[in-house]
Amino acid sequence: MTEKQRLAEWRSWARQIKIDTYTLWLVYRHPGTPWYAKLVAVCVAGYAFSPIDLIPDFIPVLGYVDDLILLPLGIMLALKLIPEPVLEECRRQARDRIEQGKPLNWVAGSIIIAIWLLGLVAVVLFGWRLLGTFL
């Protein structure tokens, strides 16, 4: 396999991950999705869209484990829980929307960032309080 073919394969794989992640967001909002599938779908999509990783990317090798292994495994699990008609409808909508270049939901992204920031503030305040008891 040539370098060009390998690069094309990686681009195709990355594009499919993007489509599947957006599909999960659409599945979460679809009324025909069971609650347990919605729960897994929103957790995986939220993690994928989140700017913070479980393992930071600056850690050599391990930093990309969540992007290369955990995210695809989460997507596969979520896709298995979704009824086939719902999955096909949402996958078609995701492909159409991404190919047309329509903007994605910035409100959802803002909410995810706000949740992470609130968590960070809570950790800092807890650490400050804990540190104050030792001083």
pLDDT digits (tens, 9 = 90+) for 106-130: 776 677 778 888 888 999 999 888 8
Which pLDDT band holds residue 12 (cuts at 50, 70, 90)? confident
Counting residues of the chain whose pLDDT is more than 90, the rounded percentage is: 21
Average pLDDT of the segment spanning 55-61:
70
Residue 52 or residue 97, greater confidence: 97
Counting residues of the chain whose pLDDT is more than 70, the rounded percentage is: 89
pLDDT digits (tens, 9 = 90+) for 36-45: 999 998 888 8
CB 62 within 8 A of CB 55: yes
pLDDT digits (tens, 9 = 90+) for 71-110: 888 889 998 999 999 999 999 999 888 888 765 567 766 7
Return the pLDDT at 93: 92
Average pLDDT of the segment spanning 55-72:
74
Return the pLDDT at 86: 94
- Segment 13-20 long-range contacts (CB within 8 Å, at least 24 positions apart): 17/71, 17/72, 17/75, 18/98, 19/91, 19/94, 19/95, 19/98, 20/75, 20/79, 20/91, 20/94
Residue 131 or residue 27, greater confidence: 27
